[in-house]
Amino acid sequence: MDKKGILFGIGAYTWWGFFPIYWKLLHQVSALQLIGHRIGWSFILLMVMILASRQWTDFRATFNARTFRIYSLAGVLVGLNWLTYVWAVNAGFIVETSLGYFINPLLSMLLGVVVLRERLRPAQWIPVGLAAIGVVYLTFIYGRLPWIALVLAFTFGFYALVKKLAPLGSLYGLTLETGVLFIPALIYLSLMEVNGTGALLHIGLRTDLLLIGAGIATTVPLLLFASAARRIPLTMIGVLQYIAPTIQFLIGVFIYRESFDMAHFIGFCIVWIALIIFWVENFLSNRFPAQPIPEIGEG
């Protein structure tokens, strides 16, 4: 196992886990403006990286109608995911955002069956069913559908699906995704500046640095993740990805004191049990692959 790849993966998911603290420091800025700056500075940083590494000609050669359509869809999905996440964090729903990312891998597995016609092993239906039960239970506990968790899970799940079918590598792909959203983000931020509600250069130096730093905060873990994905097996990535929602959950409960009683604990436990079954089944199936049944007369 590549130790450097594991460290890259741990770094990416740990970084994502502590994201709520970063966005909480910008609670005075609206979620839409935060996303506008996140998109804008990310795109600028990525373009600087491409130009500095003299990859512009190669990057430009990837432009075509099909690629643009794919990454436009990816950009819209990731933009909705970022907007929902940032709004939810600053509105006091960190625990529910963590639920979304706990559910995400099970949803991705289900999307593989529905969209890509992949086949689940019989035991894999158990965690999918348990996760559905957990969501239904939490719907009754919350008194509403846990829409934040579901929006995060579905947008990131479909984003991952689009990325699976997309032709470009991580650097070019992320640059094109943010590039698709850059002009709308720039127009929106310009309008906010014109009507006097813009945040950049109007609140304070710390806020300005954090807004500009949103580009670095976004791109660094994505590049760490891309490096990890090239070095270590997907099964290891699957284990590491739970670092982020676990940290987010602990931050929401113990730092920001979000509501989390026994009823919520039971609902989360149902989802956690589903994930444990998912891990164990996946580990066993890879450690001890099923042997084909020999035909009569073989052997």
Q: CA 8 to CA 187: how far, in whole Å?
A: 35
Nearest to 245 by CA among 85, 113, 121, 110: 85
- Whose tokens are 């590491």? That residue is 240
pLDDT confidence of residue 295: 47
Q: What is the maximum alpha-carbon separation in the chain?
A: 82
Q: By the 8 A CB rule, do 124 and 278 touch?
A: yes
- Kindly compute the dihedral angle of the four CA atoms of residues 219, 161, 71, 91, in this order, to the nearest 10 degrees: -50
pLDDT confidence of residue 90: 94
pTM of the model: 0.86
pLDDT confidence of residue 217: 94
Residues with Cβ within 8 Å of residue 230, at least 6 apart in sequence: 5
Neighbours of 66 (CB within 10 A): 9
Q: By the 8 A CB rule, do 228 and 1 touch?
A: no
| Burial (Cβ within 10 Å: 0-12, 13-18, ≥19) of residue 15 | buried
Residues with Cβ within 8 Å of residue 16, at least 6 apart in sequence: 221, 244
Residues with Cβ within 8 Å of residue 229, at least 6 apart in sequence: 9, 170, 237
Kindly give the confidence (pLDDT) of every residue in the chain, 299 residues in length, as a single tens digit, with 9 standing for 90 and above.
578 888 998 999 999 999 999 999 999 999 999 999 999 999 999 999 999 999 999 999 998 999 999 999 999 999 999 999 999 999 999 999 999 988 887 787 788 778 877 777 888 888 888 888 988 898 888 888 899 999 999 998 888 888 878 888 888 988 999 999 999 999 999 999 999 999 999 999 999 999 999 999 999 998 888 788 777 765 567 678 888 999 999 999 999 999 899 999 999 999 899 888 887 887 787 776 655 544 444 43
pLDDT confidence of residue 22: 96
Neighbours of 122 (CB within 10 A): 7
- Whose tokens are 């579905």? That residue is 154
DSSP 115-142: TS-----GGGHHHHHHHHHHHHHHHHHH
pLDDT confidence of residue 205: 96
pLDDT confidence of residue 21: 96
pLDDT confidence of residue 225: 83
Neighbours of 77 (CB within 10 A): 21
Angle, alpha carbons 238-107-109 (nearest 5°): 60
